Amino acid sequence: MTAADDKLKEYREKRDFARTAEPSGGVIEPSEDHRLLCVQKHAATALHYDFRLELDGVLKSWAVPKGPSLDPADKRLAVMTEDHPLDYGDFEGVIPAGEYGGGAVVLWDTGWWEQDHTREKKPREGGPSTPAEHLAAGELKIILHGEKLKGSWTLVQMKGRGERNWLLIKHRDEASRPGYDLVTEAPLSVLSGRGVEEVLEGTPPVPGSRIAEGGGSPPVSPAADDAG
């Protein structure tokens, strides 16, 4: 039993892997220089966006009811959910009705992320340093390198409103777009070019999309790209 197995206990307990096509975890080995970012648009009982950041062998996960926004004025509620396995990073498909989270899942964005040290408060002795420590302290500044989500963001815990409630906020920078409605303007899968209805109906991937061209895996960080 690894540390990641321990963190995935809740994830596995909620699911029957004989019935859902979701991964049970353990296929992808974690790596330091490849911190995965993925966002899944999930048409469950209520439509939401699952925002996931690789950290220490699992995907830390938040359900964002309204989805991420590139407008710094939009403070989007992000409810922390159970850690997911790394191989969830390219999952797209239908979770059967009656199963946990039943409904269509679209891979809405993928890429990688890094800590935004330039936005962090001045480091202090014994203060948070690693991403895990910043999360434990209730505030993590990140730079996203997704296809849709880019630039600097903050995840901040809403103190006193239940420890699972966070806000996902875009910082003002070259990637911010005040007034822009990203989830409406860019609704489709970055993997297959499909929307949630098409995934639900089993429509084949759009010709020219990444998966139709034979590339199913999420992109990797530039460091890994350079290595070939």
Closer to Mn ion by Cβ: residue 42 or 145: 42
Min dist. Cβ of residue 50 to Mn ion (A): 4
Min dist. Cβ of residue 218 to Mn ion (A): 18
3-state secondary structure of 222: helix
Min dist. Cβ of residue 94 to Mn ion (A): 13
Q: Which one-letter DSSP state was computed for residue 118?
A: G
Min dist. Cβ of residue 42 to Mn ion (A): 4
Residue nearest to Mn ion (CB): 42
Which residue type sits at 75? K
82 CB burial (10 A radius; 0-12, 13-18, 19+): middle
Binding mask 10-49 for Mn ion (x = CB under 5 A): --------------------------------x-------
Question: How far is it, in rounded angstroms, from Cα 161 to Cα 37?
Answer: 26
Question: How far is it, in rounded angstroms, from Cα 99 to Cα 14?
Answer: 9
Closer to Mn ion by Cβ: residue 7 or 42: 42
Closer to Mn ion by Cβ: residue 27 or 46: 46
Contact of 59 with 89, CB cutoff 8 Å: yes
Q: Which residue has the tokens 């909620």?
A: 14
Min dist. Cβ of residue 52 to Mn ion (A): 10
Closer to Mn ion by Cβ: residue 44 or 206: 44
Closer to Mn ion by Cβ: residue 23 or 128: 23
Contact of 146 with 51, CB cutoff 8 Å: no
Contact of 157 with 169, CB cutoff 8 Å: no
Q: Which residue in the set 22, 41, 50, 157 belongs to the binding site for Mn ion (CB under 5 A)?
A: 50
Distance of CA 59 to the CA centre of its chain: 7
Closer to Mn ion by Cβ: residue 128 or 218: 218
Question: How far is it, in rounded angstroms, from Cα 129 to Cα 115?
Answer: 10
Question: How far is it, in rounded angstroms, from Cα 10 to Cα 162?
Answer: 19
Give me the residues that bind Mn ion (CB under 5 A), please: 42, 50
